[in-house]
Amino acid sequence: MLVAAAVCPCPPLLVPEVAAGAAPELDGARAACADALGVLAAARPGLLVVVGAAEESGQGPHPEGTRGSFRGFGVDADVRLGADGTGPVVSERELPPSLAVASWLLQRAGWSDAPVEGLGVAESLDPGQCVRTGAGLAWRDERVALLVMGDASACRSLKAPGYLDERAAGFDAEVARALGAADVAALKALDAGLARELKAAGRAPWQILAGAAENAHLTGALLYDDAPYGVGYLVAAWS
The residue ranges of every structural domain in the chain are 2-238
Whether residue 86 has pLDDT greater than 60: no
- pTM, full prediction: 0.96
- Per-residue pLDDT tens digits for 4-40: 999 999 999 999 998 888 788 899 999 999 999 999 9
pLDDT the model gives residue 197 = 98
Which among 16, 29, 11, 27 has a CA at the least distance from the CA of 75?
A: 16
Whether residue 88 has pLDDT greater than 70: no
Domain 2-238 class, CATH top level: alpha beta
Which among 195, 230, 228 has a CA at the least distance from the CA of 24?
A: 228
CA contacts within 13 A on the Cβ side of 112: 3
Which among 165, 162, 204, 211 has a CA at the least distance from the CA of 184?
A: 211
- Per-residue pLDDT tens digits for 125-183: 999 999 999 999 999 999 999 999 999 999 999 999 999 999 999 999 999 999 999 99
Which class for 106: exposed (0-12), middle (13-18), buried (19 or more C-beta within 10 A)?
buried
Whether residue 92 has pLDDT greater than 80: no
pLDDT the model gives residue 212 = 98
- Per-residue pLDDT tens digits for 171-214: 999 999 999 999 999 999 999 999 999 999 999 999 999 999 99
Look at residue 109 and give its three-state secondary structure.
helix
CB atoms within 10 A of CB 86: 7
**Region 97-103 average pLDDT:** 97
